Amino acid sequence: MRGLGGIKEALLDLLQMAGVPIHPWTLPALVLILAGLFSPWILANLRTGSARSMLKRARVLEGAERKAMEAKAMAEVRGNPYGYIAIAEECIRMGRLELARQAVQKLAETGKARPHLRRLRAELDPDDLPQTVDAAVVVIDQFIESGLLGRAAERLEKAHKKYGDKRELDEAEGRLAKARSQQGAPG
């Protein structure tokens, strides 16, 4: 432990400079106090690692055994948003998208880690529409500007089904029609 000796000496020097009396039990006590303070996060990380291992072991199982192992992994990270993120990422890597969707649903129920939630939802359903009409129009306009008029038309149709007849969608439809007429014009 040659590398930790320097850290230990530095900590002891700092404590002595601060006027803290150094006894043989000071450093172990400090380590125990820090471990106690950080134990919730340490335990959550241990449970998340355990859940990942369970998912990896469940790969070789079939049927009811596999389902039981997956349920046990989900129970292991219960209530921990970052545990749900880890399970979802692992399941996406393994191609087990249904379990990944369950983990993402549990993550959504926690109400935390919204950026990760959006990223995971986009990975699971890449053609899913944005949550607002304005965001859908931005995506449609990007397709139009890129010359991907077919994709823009598909997105526009999906947006009409999801959001109904909105003025913003009608304006995007006008821009799409204009782009189609310009593309078809001799140039």
Q: Look at 29-43, 51-65, 68-82 and tell me which has the smallest mean pLDDT.
A: 29-43
What CA–CA distance (Å, rounded) separates 60 from 37? 38
Is 16 a residue whose pLDDT tops 90? no
Is 178 a residue whose pLDDT tops 60? yes
Mean pLDDT, rounded, for 22-46: 83
More confident residue, 12 or 92: 92
More confident residue, 186 or 126: 126
Residue with tokens 């000496």: 9
Q: What is the pLDDT of residue 128?
A: 65
Residue 1: band (very low, low, confident or very high) from pLDDT cuts 50, 70, 90: very low
What CA–CA distance (Å, rounded) separates 122 from 100? 12
pTM: predicted TM-score of the whole model, two decimal places: 0.57
Q: What is the pLDDT of residue 23?
A: 82
Q: Are 76 and 58 in contact (CB under 8 A)?
A: no
More confident residue, 130 or 49: 49
Q: What is the pLDDT of residue 6?
A: 80
Domain locations in the chain?
26-124, 133-182
Overall CATH class of domain 26-124: mainly alpha
Q: What angle do CA 17, 22, 27 make, to 5 degrees?
A: 105
Written as six digits, the tokens of 40 are 């919730």
Is 62 a residue whose pLDDT tops 70? yes
Query: Quick one: residue 129, left, alpha or beta (phi over 0 = left, psi -120 to 50 = alpha)?
Result: beta
Q: What is the pLDDT of residues 118-146, one digit of tens each?
A: 889 888 876 666 778 888 899 899 989 98
